Amino acid sequence: MEEMCHFIDGARVSGRSGRFSDVFNPATGEVCARVPLADADELDRAVETAREAQPFWAAQNPQRRARVMMRFVQLLNRDMDKLAEALSREHGKTLADAKGDVIRGLEVAEFCIGAPHLLKGEFTDSAGPAIDMYSMRQPLGVVAGITPFNFPAMIPMWKMCPALVCGNAFILKPSERAPSVPLMLAELMREAGLPDGLLQVVNGDKTVVDAIIAHPDIAAIGFVGSTPVAQYIYGHGCMAGKRVQCFGGAKNHMVIMPDADLDSAVEALVGAGYGAAGERCMAISVAVPVGDATAEALRARLIPRIEALRVGPYTAGDEVDLGPVVTNTAKERILGLVESGVTQGADLIVDGRNFSLQGYENGFFVGPCLFDNVTPEMNIYREEIFGPVLSMVRAGNYHDALRLVAGNPYGNGTAIFTRDGDTARDFASRINVGMVGVNVPIPVPLAYHTFGGWKLSAFGDLNQHGPDAFKFYTKTKTVTSRWPSGAKEGAQFAIPTMG
């Protein structure tokens, strides 16, 4: 059995704590590796190495740092298939989806090549008599990212690429459920020319998370995961004096208006609801048809489409639409929520609870499920299921649909399908959700915009990637400069003004 490592000071190193966690192949249920779980002493070593390496890196001009990103992008393209295979083996998602995971991270690395422009400050000539004023963006020092299992390539790159190109050193604590790809990314970054010590990968659980929060030399933390953990890290990190951004759970709705192209809406719902077995924070988990006629027509089209979905291991390639969920614990939780939906009175019209795949009976597979007549009081509506389960919540009219989405405590993403521009514009303007799709089911912004939800989906003032990332990973220094000539001036006791 493979024993995974940490990545410290440019090389893989064995864990010292004596604690390990099993890494599973979700398709077979077999343990494929063990990953070490770091303790506070191991984190200290990683942070100390990063702290020593960071000043040299910060002193390099942004163009030199951007060249590392250019080479990193080339290496990602070279090793795309290798990365996708390792990702699929530990996560369970299809190879096509795994490649999409890598590409979405690669796009952020491409955006970071523009660091020389994005890090430019501002200058005001003659802000006052013989006074010039200018600002500069400077790195924070050592920063950390805590990333989830469901995007083991994309989200680490969303964090580490902007942090590094801004001149910081970065400590990555990836999910212990899918540790291979983050280690591979660190090795590629080193091959791209990143000096040793600037990117450290420290595997672990809550022990190392708490150590990150408490460490005095870590200036900022970025996190993606569940809302309770996001609240925990945000609260304790802020109390420790750190800059913190935390992204939590979601309950993403798709409103289907009576004038929508139902065939397009069905395909969008199926892809957004069941892709990656629903293990996406931007998955559509709630369909909101407006009017009973729309609901009945949608239901009639959804049932055969969902029943035709192909579930299987990633090794089946293009023959599979979705794979297993990540662990048996996740599978049992999803099935428990499906049972609660039945108990609480929802109509389970596509039942995937008893799905079994010949030859993979021990895999963590859950068949696609579809509920109708779900109400907001039910557990399957209130909780983020993070599995292949879609719920239909019927709305009497557009305003009922708007109130339903607006009243949900999460505010990550939402979508509306309609042919009416006025309705779409009104929805996008009024809805209190961070990312909105108009006839787009998963409205994940491209790398040069920012990604972030509202309400219980996000904690902190700045979003991920795009210009916000450069603001998060730097601090602004403003210099007021005067080079006087002529007669000396006496002391001024009033507050200075530039008039």
Phi and psi, residue 252, nearest 5°: -90, 130
- In which residue are the tokens 């109509």 written? 347
Is 72 within 8 Å of 91 (Cβ atoms)?
no
Element spanning 168, H or E: none
- How far CA 335 is from CA of 40, 359, 363, in Å, comes to 36, 21, 14
Q: Which residue is catalytic, options 161, 246, 281, 369?
A: 281
Is 372 within 8 Å of 346 (Cβ atoms)?
yes
Q: What is the Cα–Cα distance from 461 to 56, expressed in whole angstroms?
A: 29
- How far CA 239 is from CA of 44, 216, 244, 454, 464, in Å, comes to 20, 12, 10, 22, 22
DSSP string, 242-272: -EEEEE----EEEEE-TTS-HHHHHHHHHHH
Phi and psi, residue 96, nearest 5°: -65, -40
Write the CB contacts of 487 (distance below 8 Å, at least 6 apart in sequence). Answer: none
Provide the H-helix boundaries in 275-327. Answer: 292-307
CA angle (323, 380, 372) in 5-degree steps: 90
Kindly tell me the sign of the dihedral angle through the C-alpha atoms of 324, 453, 141, 119: positive
5 classed as catalytic: no
Q: Using the 8-state DSSP alphabet, how is residue 290 labeled?
A: B
- How far CA 349 is from CA of 263, 285, 352, 373, 389, in Å, comes to 19, 15, 10, 10, 11
Short-list 335, 325, 231, 327, CA closest to 275: 325
Write the CB contacts of 496 (distance below 8 Å, at least 6 apart in sequence). Answer: none
Report the 10 Å Cβ neighbour count for 391.
24
The β-bridge partners of 325 are: none
- Please identify every residue annotated as catalytic: 281
